[in-house]
Amino acid sequence: MSIVINHLTFAYTQGGKPLDPTLKDLTFTIEEGSFLGIIGHTGSGKSTFVKHLNGLLPCEKGTVEVDGHDLSQKSERKSVRALVGMVFQYPEYQLFAETVSEDVAFGPRNMKLDEAEVKNRVINAMTMVGLDPEIFSERSPFDLSGGERRRAAIAGVLAMHPKYLVLDEPMAGLDPLGRREILSLLEKLRTESGCTIIMISHSMDDIANHATKVLVLDQGSILMYDTPQNVFSKADELQQIGLSVPSITKICVEMNRRGVPIPVTICTEDAFLNWFREGRQHA
């Protein structure tokens, strides 16, 4: 199963009149089990696009199908929302309950699951994000640190057992340790539970290290949709639309400039060091 996007076009309206389209004729497929990184300049349409994945914004032109459910059909939205979990920017601002466990339980309860199952899911979701239920269940979300609050908010989404998890800049504002915790959580979700991850991020290093596919949006259109290796090897093209490349790619580009023919498809530390270990073969 997969998410199939077909000729999706979308324009916001102002005073009843449509503005220039924010998304222009997007067609591509997100494979189940992949880790999709979405990159693009501010205003390129990234956030607008992901809001189409669970029907928060309507499909007016073109279609989005999640596991065969067509989102342009209103009746299908409910089934899709059970499949697609959404984590917005600064999700901790949406915590509202008196205790962490109550907050995490909110989603599953809305799904009308029985109380034993809700409890079970809350414990699992909290454990998954590294908030020990014995310590954190009865605490107020407002007594937690920034990183803990962020993880509590993500636990609330995970407790609904989404098959596809969409995150809009989930590491924004966190310190380096907080960032690492979120990234290893996403990696664990993907490899252990087979959850498909769709993540918007400004950090090219994070995308290079974790994504299996990268979508590059430019002014609402797809500029590239490829592996991180192929996308980041086009450093000049990315720079033209105001994007940078991972640190490792930068080093490779600088080395080529100085006459050392290291492949510019190398974008992670492991691949870089392997090139040295394996005798610096050209391509």
Partner 1 sequence: MIEFDHVTFQYEKALTPALTNIDLTIDKGEFVAIVGHNGSGKSTLAKHVNGLLLPTEGTVTVCGMQTSNEDDLLRIRQKVGMAFQNPDNQLVTTVVEEDVAFGPENLGIEPNEIRTRVDKALASVGMSDYATFAVHHLSGGQKQRIAIAGILALKPQILVLDEASAMLDPNGRAELLETVHKLHREGMTVLMVTQYMEETTGCDRIIVMNHGKIVLEGTPEEVFRHTDLLMESNLVPPETVSVRDALRSMGYALKDRSLTAEQLAEELCPLL
146 scored as a contact of partner 1 (CB under 8 A): yes
Q: Are 194 and 21 in contact (CB under 8 A)?
A: no
* Residues near partner 1 (CB under 8 A), total: 38
Give residue 108's region: left, alpha or beta (phi > 0; psi -120 to 50). alpha
Half-sphere exposure of 177 (CA within 13 A, CB side): 4
Q: Is 17 in the site for partner 1 (CB under 8 A)?
A: no
Binding flag, residue 280, partner 1 (CB under 8 A): yes
By CB under 8 A, tell whether 143 contacts partner 1. Answer: no
Using alpha carbons only, give the angle 231, 235, 238 rounded to the nearest 5 degrees: 75
Nearer to partner 1, 116 or 177 (CB): 177
CB 164 within 8 A of CB 172: no
185-211 CB burial, b ≥16 within 10 A, e <16: bbeebbeeeebbbbbbbbbbbbbbbbb
232 near partner 1, rule: CB under 8 A:
no
Does position 184 bind partner 1 by CB under 8 A?
no
CB atoms under 10 Å from CB of 252, counted, come to 26
Determine which residue in the list 15, 74, 112, 177 makes contact with partner 1, applying CB under 8 A: 177
Interaction of residue 33 with partner 1, rule CB under 8 A? no
Tokens of 146: 């920034």
Name the one residue in this structure whose structure tokens are 């059909």: 73
Q: Which two tokens stand for residue 168?
A: 């809009």
Q: What is the largest CA-CA distance in the chain?
A: 65
- CB of 58 vs partner 1, minimal distance in Å: 27
One of 13, 14, 112, 176 touching partner 1 (CB under 8 A): 176
Cross-strand pairs, 38: 200, 215
Does 269 participate in binding partner 1 (rule CB under 8 A)? yes
Beta carbon of residue 283, minimum distance to partner 1 (angstroms, whole number): 16
With contacts defined by CB under 8 A, name the span among 121-129, 135-143, 172-180, 187-195 that binds partner 1: 172-180
Site for partner 1 in 75-104 (CB under 8 A): none
Decide if residue 145 touches partner 1 (CB under 8 A).
Answer: yes
The amino acid that residue 91 corresponds to is P
d(CA 184, CA 21): 36
Distance CA 49, CA 60 (A): 13
Contacts of partner 1 in 34-53 (CB under 8 A): 41-42
The residue range among 101-109, 166-174, 185-193, 212-220 that interacts with partner 1, by the rule CB under 8 A, is 166-174
From the CB of 126, what's the least distance to partner 1, in Å?
A: 20
**Interface with partner 1 (CB under 8 A):** 41-42, 145-147, 172-180, 202, 204-205, 242-244, 246-248, 250-251, 253-255, 257-260, 269, 272-273, 276-277, 280
